[in-house]
Chains A and B, each alone.
Chain A
Amino acid sequence: MPMPTIPMTTRRCNRRTVLGLGVAGLAAAAVPGSALALSDAQAKALIQRAVNDVNAAIASGKTGPTLYAMFERIFSKYADVNVIARSALGIAARSASAAQMTAFTRAFQGYLSRKYGKRFREFQGAVFQIQGARPVKSFYEVKTTAILPGQAPFEVLWQVSDRSGSDKFFNLIVEGVNMLASERAEIGAMLDRRRGNIDLLIQDLKTAG
């Protein structure tokens, strides 16, 4: 069975994970919250629409690539794919060319849809309910509860911003598990494996997930 080789050290990976997020967060705390143009109602409305589409996709009973394609459409419609991709690539995004960023973002979007499409199988039959929204720094965090038959409800947080020019979500936190933090660690590890070569990373991403 082919097994990925795993480096014994993860210097870069460690730096890039939650610790790094905390430091970056502190630096960003200087931004005044009053600059918010997005409202509580707008953030909730966006997530309500996204959740309706997710519910419909799950209820369609479709599986495999058809379902992943549905997720990819929902993702590109409601998520700020550019900022998620840029953040996942981390500091390497600064040295990437515009063409590399475009190719990376496209490959990353397909990778995310396949990866989370597979994992969404556990959400089959789930109904998402909006609980509320609260401002955090320059964005809103919308809290939803996923209700699965016969199981204790669980919490999904959606972080929403309008700083891309329109209202989009840029992060999902499922029972404490932060998608952006997880992808920053994963893309960092993929880039390490390719010794920092972004073009090879893009090739890998086209089949990963």
Chain B
Amino acid sequence: MSKAGASDEMGGRASGHARRVVMALAGMTLLALAACGPGPRETGINDPYEASNRQTHEFNKSVDAAFFRGDDDQGAGPVARTLYNVGNNLSLPGKVVNSLLQGRPEPAIKNTFRFVINSTLGLGGIFDPAGSSFSLPETDTDFGETLHVWGVGEGAYVELPFVGPSTERDALGMVVDFVINPLNALPEKERVAASALRLGGHFAKRRIYSATIDSVLYDSADSYAQGRLLYLQNRRFELNGEETNDAYAYDPYDDPALQ
């Protein structure tokens, strides 16, 4: 027992140290980039690692087929929805930190109120009174978006094991999010429980969106290419809003390739 306790303590110190290093790096990056605007909207597909990405995709598909593929036409049950809500609630403190790093106080304040309301009135996030009674829907964000706001480009497309579609920037963002999460300040047991619930929330999300995810993964002729296209389009929309540059709008009535 005491041995385990000692190694826990060392682990805690190590992660505390890593946290300080990343915060310092993040601070320096912030200073260096403070003068820059957000990264430009990117177009097209930058996928130099396609061959290895496709191998990872096959691996992810086999994991998904073994554990998550929906084999019935039922939607997500109340357990999945509860787990999803609780996991989402626990992700709010990290989002607040990111909104602040992005210089966006409004979503930071809203997500703070949302966290307080749903953790108390919503019984630890099981219910969503903030969204249903206080008009405080979640504002989703992450460190990948923070990097974007600081002017970092998305980099190459990557498919991450167990995670799925991402970009070099968003993959780095995930690592930093892990380190800067305010829940890391919780005592050991609570921290592990919170991490387990957040992971459970991700599994529940897979279940809630099972019809669409199954359709993309198992009904596509090229599920890798579909996943890549859907991820990049949706991510660019999340970060930049809708495409307003009409030069990029496709008009099938004037497509010379079809005439």
Q: Is B1's CB within 8 Å of the partner chain A?
A: no
Q: Is B255's CB within 8 Å of the partner chain A?
A: yes
Contact (Cβ within 8 A) B220 A63: no
Contact of B250 among A21, A115, A150 (CB under 8 A): A21
Q: Chain B residues with Cβ under 8 A from A157's Cβ?
A: 242
Q: In the bound complex, how far is the Cα of B131 from the Cα of A91, in angstroms?
A: 47
Q: Is B56's CB within 8 Å of the partner chain A?
A: no
Contact (Cβ within 8 A) A115 B215: yes
Q: In the bound complex, how far is the Cα of B238 from the Cα of A24, in angstroms?
A: 25
Contact (Cβ within 8 A) A161 B258: no
Contact (Cβ within 8 A) A27 B258: no
Contact (Cβ within 8 A) A22 B43: yes
Q: In the bound complex, how far is the Cα of B41 from the Cα of A176, in angstroms?
A: 12
Q: In the bound complex, how far is the Cα of B223 from the Cα of A189, in angstroms?
A: 9
Contact (Cβ within 8 A) B226 A186: yes
- The interface bits of chain B over 204-247 (1 if a CB of A lies within 8 angstroms of the residue's CB, else 0) are 00000101100100011111111001101111111000110011
- The interface bits of chain B over 53-81 (1 if a CB of A lies within 8 angstroms of the residue's CB, else 0) are 01001100100010000000101000000
Q: Chain B residues with Cβ under 8 A from A126's Cβ?
A: none
Q: Is A99's CB within 8 Å of the partner chain B?
A: no
Contact (Cβ within 8 A) B219 A18: no
Contact (Cβ within 8 A) A10 B250: no
Residues of A1-45 contacting chain B, CB below 8 A: 1, 3-4, 6-10, 13-14, 17-22, 24-29, 31
Known: A118-B211, A138-B254. A6 touches B219 (CB 8 A): no
Task: Give the number of chain B interface residues (Cβ < 8 Å).
Answer: 57
Q: Is A182's CB within 8 Å of the partner chain B?
A: yes
Q: How distant is B89 from chain A, measured CB to nearest CB, in Å? A: 13
Q: In the bound complex, how far is the Cα of B41 from the Cα of A12, in angstroms?
A: 24
Q: Chain B residues with Cβ under 8 A from A170's Cβ?
A: 252-253
Q: Chain A residues with Cβ under 8 A from B75's Cβ?
A: 121
Q: In the bound complex, how far is the Cα of B252 from the Cα of A21, in angstroms?
A: 9
Q: Chain A residues with Cβ under 8 A from B242's Cβ?
A: 155, 157, 173, 176
Contact (Cβ within 8 A) B225 A86: no
Q: Chain B residues with Cβ under 8 A from A190's Cβ?
A: 221
Additional pairs, 11, CB under 8 Å, beyond known A149-B132, A151-B137, A152-B140? A3-B65, A7-B222, A14-B225, A20-B257, A21-B250, A122-B209, A137-B249, A138-B251, A153-B137, A175-B234, A176-B233
The 7 closest A-B pairs by CB, nearest first: A176-B237, A189-B222, A28-B254, A152-B137, A87-B252, A189-B221, A21-B250
Pull 14 A–B residue pairs with CB atoms less than 8 Å apart, ordered by A. A4-B223, A10-B222, A24-B256, A25-B251, A27-B254, A28-B254, A119-B211, A151-B131, A152-B140, A171-B252, A180-B250, A185-B229, A186-B222, A189-B220
Query: Which B residues form the contact surface with A (CB < 8 A)?
Result: 43-45, 47, 50-51, 54, 57-58, 61, 65, 73, 75, 128, 131-132, 137-140, 209, 211-212, 215, 219-226, 229-230, 232-238, 242-243, 246-259
